[in-house]
Structure 1
């Protein structure tokens, strides 16, 4: 059994995976634990809920790994958890994961953005910083931004609260050089926007599709600690 938790990062994920991969919505607390109890051998974590519900607990991921489940993470909550749990065997995938794992990124809100509900295909209402950074890096490499514009736009993007971060706001609040046209820069950013979260999510789907559908041997270099708090969560209701 293979399961992937995904939502706004890849709204059409169900059309992109083979029939043996079950697509579930963004993960929340106990969802990975439940998937393990249902027999999952491979779990992919892309999107996760946070503000209004308890997020995926690291302990759930460690439990899954201790049971020989392959757990992959990318793009959003998955990239965060993969960077945090890599030492225990969680597999991180993609550019965003690499940036967190290297310490270049460290703030959870760098992958966060505001979006509509599933019924509206998770329409995006703000820009996650990781996508903005990928866009700025690409435009600098192509010499469509000079270094002064790049630096001012990046600083502006980093300072804006994630719920308010749009390309319009980034350009409006940037301390740009005198030679720069705000209107032209806004068009440039919008028309060349890179969705790095989606790119990384597609990499994860490919990894899951080719992964062995059987659980692997339990790790031998660390032992899962079943604390009293964990037992309360594990046995609260049936999986």
Structure 2
């Protein structure tokens, strides 16, 4: 069995996953453990809860890996946990994971955003910092940003709480920007917007689709030290 935990990074995951992959809402503490106990051989962690519920615990990921379950992560909570657990065998994919792995990204708030409830499709409502950076990279490389403007935009984005960060709010936060230039810059940001979280999530989805639906018998170079920890009801 293959399982993917997805939400705002890939709202249409269920329609894209295809047969043989079960798509579940963003994971919270105990969900990876429950997936393992239900027989999952491959687990793709994209999105995870963090504000109103305890996040996925590293120990449950290590537990899964110790049993030969392939655990992959990308885009959001998955990228964070993959960067932290890749020395133990968790597989990370995408730019966001790599940025966390090498230390270019440190703050977990870089992937945070506000989104609609699952009943309304989990559509993102604000812009995460990782998408801001990816968008500004594209615009800078194509010569659309004047000297110094990129840094001003990044500083503006960083100064806005993730629940209020929209492209319009970012432009309004740029104090040094002339009023007549604001509509033009906003239009350019919107037309060049890069959804890096979705790009990375799609890469993970492809990796899960290609993975063998079987647990490995690899001899791990580390040993899981069993401890008592609470579990959640089965999925």
Contact 2:128 2:165 (8 Å CA) reproduced: yes
Does 2:68 align with 1:68? yes
- Aligned partners of 1:11 and 1:233: how far apart in 2? 29
- Aligned partners of 1:72 and 1:211: how far apart in 2? 10
Give the CA deviation at 1:142: 0.4
Give the CA deviation at 1:158: 1.5
Equivalent residue, structure 1, for 2:37: 37
Contact 1:7 1:26 (8 Å CA) reproduced: yes
Does 2:187 align with 1:190? no
Give the CA deviation at 1:176: 3.4
- Aligned partners of 2:115 and 2:166: how far apart in 1? 12
Equivalent residue, structure 2, for 1:80: 80
Equivalent residue, structure 1, for 2:165: 165
- Aligned partners of 1:216 and 1:24: how far apart in 2? 23
The CA RMSD measured in Å over matched residues stands at 1.7
Equivalent residue, structure 1, for 2:21: 21
Give the CA deviation at 1:123: 2.5
- Aligned partners of 1:65 and 1:84: how far apart in 2? 14
Equivalent residue, structure 2, for 1:117: 117
Q: After superposing the two structures, state which structure 1 stretch, 171-180 or 97-106, moved more.
A: 171-180
Contact 2:38 2:234 (8 Å CA) reproduced: no
Does 2:151 align with 1:151? yes
Equivalent residue, structure 1, for 2:101: 101
- Aligned partners of 1:209 and 1:200: how far apart in 2? 14
Contact 1:65 1:219 (8 Å CA) reproduced: no
- Aligned partners of 2:25 and 2:234: how far apart in 1? 20
Q: After superposing the two structures, state which structure 1 stretch, 62-71 or 179-188, moved more.
A: 179-188
- Aligned partners of 2:39 and 2:183: how far apart in 1? 53
- Aligned partners of 1:134 and 1:216: how far apart in 2? 36
- Aligned partners of 1:197 and 1:111: how far apart in 2? 8
**In structure 2, do the counterparts of structure 1 residues 180 and 146 end up closer, same or farther at CA, with 3 Å as the change threshold?**
farther
> TM-score when scaled to structure 2?
0.95
Does 2:51 align with 1:51? yes
Contact 2:71 2:90 (8 Å CA) reproduced: yes
**In structure 2, do the counterparts of structure 1 residues 169 and 87 end up closer, same or farther at CA, with 3 Å as the change threshold?**
same
Equivalent residue, structure 1, for 2:230: 233
Give the CA deviation at 1:161: 1.2
Give 5+ residue unaligned stretches, structure 1: none
Give 5+ residue unaligned stretches, structure 2: none
> TM-score when scaled to structure 1?
0.94
Secondary structure, counterpart of 2:163 in structure 1: helix
- Aligned partners of 1:3 and 1:237: how far apart in 2? 16
Secondary structure, counterpart of 2:115 in structure 1: coil
